[in-house]
Amino acid sequence: MRTHMPYPTTLATLGILLSAAALVAETAPEPRWNTHALVAETAPEPHWNTHALDAETGLLWQIGTGTPISYRLVPTELSWRSKAFLGRELADGSRIVVRHRLTLIGTWVQNGPESHYIGFSGSPSIEWWDRTSTWSLFTGVGGGLGFIDSRGITGGQGQDFTLNWFIRGGVERVISKNTRVSAGFMYQHMSNAGMSDPNPGIDSLGFMIGYGWSL
């Protein structure tokens, strides 16, 4: 015949078991974590070791004497930068790196007979990063090609097909794990390398601001 333990006795036994479990938990040693290993696993990649996508815009003013027209250009650029393929760490912990940079260009001709320019360019991106990897100085020289809506006006561009060449430089600041802002200058030359006569070209200089993402 099966007998049942009285209810008060059951509660007392359960209380003893819970108290013993709590005592064991309090006296058990805490697990030891390798904090250095955890930090190493979660530390973000340096920005020069990641691909980047940058969106930039600005304002350029005609500074050359090739055309009497006071051109004013508003470029918008979407650029991809590779991981660094060359680099050197300096004695103070900062680093100089070189990356590939490819750019799609869409320019509004704010002042001039044409209305827009669509093009492409490529260049190295030469960057100096401080030892904390929070900001950098950059520069680059490159060029490419594109098309402008030429109008056949004296002082304007002689044909649609146009080459471009530029020099850029500035400063970039990291604002979060994967985003950055930048500001700098750009000189740009646009012409068709003498394929039309006349070939006035556009020499312009101005500022650029940008926002970037690490990929």
Give me the number of domains the chain comprises: 2
pTM (2 decimals)?
Answer: 0.78
Do residues 169 and 123 both lie within one domain? yes
The residue type found at 9 is T
Q: CA geometry: angle at 206 spanning 200 and 212, to 5°? A: 120
Is the per-residue pLDDT at 215 higher than 70?
yes
Per-residue pLDDT reduced to its tens digit, 103-159: 999 999 999 999 999 999 999 999 999 999 999 999 999 999 999 999 989 999 999
Task: Tell me, yes or no, whether 160 lies in a domain.
Answer: yes
Do residues 18 and 79 both lie within one domain? no
DSSP 201: -
Residue 24 phi/psi, 5-degree rounding, is -65, -40
Residue ranges making up the domain that contains 70: 47-214
HEC assignment per residue over 37-94: HHHHHHCCCCHHHCCEEEEEEEEEEECCCCCCCCCEEEEEEEEEECCCCEEEECCCCC
